[in-house]
């Protein structure tokens, strides 16, 4: 945040995985940073392979846990 203020930056492009975007936007909003979201798809549209599907589900569950954790800590 301080770096952005020192450089007189008023807005930024937020690039992250699509499933991280909600939490990332919430953090930026809490910090008062005006961002333009640019989500990056992290998986192929088709996740029929069991290993990819399991990995995707675990990462989504981890992200929900991170959202709850960040909320309890007051970061979002």
Residue with tokens 């952005």: 4
Q: Which two tokens stand for residue 64?
A: 């929900």
| Domain residue spans of the chain | 2-73
pTM score: 0.72
C-alpha of 21 from chain center:
3
pLDDT given for residue 45 in this prediction: 56
Q: Kindly provide the b/e burial profile for residues 32-69, where b requires at least 16 CB atoms within 10 angstroms of the residue's own CB.
A: ebebeeebeeeeeeeeeeeeeeeeeeeeeeebeeeeee
Check residue 48 and give its pLDDT.
66
Q: How confident is the model at residue 51 (pLDDT cuts 50, 70, 90)?
A: confident
Say whether pLDDT at 4 is over 70: yes
pLDDT of 54-73, one tens digit each?
Answer: 888 888 899 899 999 999 99
pLDDT digits (tens, 9 = 90+) for 8-19: 877 889 998 888
């Amino acid at each position: 945040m301080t770096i952005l203020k020192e450089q007189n930056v008023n807005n930024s492009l937020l690039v992250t995985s699509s499933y991280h975007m909600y939490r990332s936007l919430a953090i930026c909003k809490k910090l008062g940073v005006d961002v333009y979201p640019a989500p990056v798809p992290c998986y192929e549209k088709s996740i029929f392979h069991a290993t990819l599907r399991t990995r995707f589900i675990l990462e989504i569950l981890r992200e929900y846990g991170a959202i709850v954790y960040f909320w309890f800590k007051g970061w979002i």
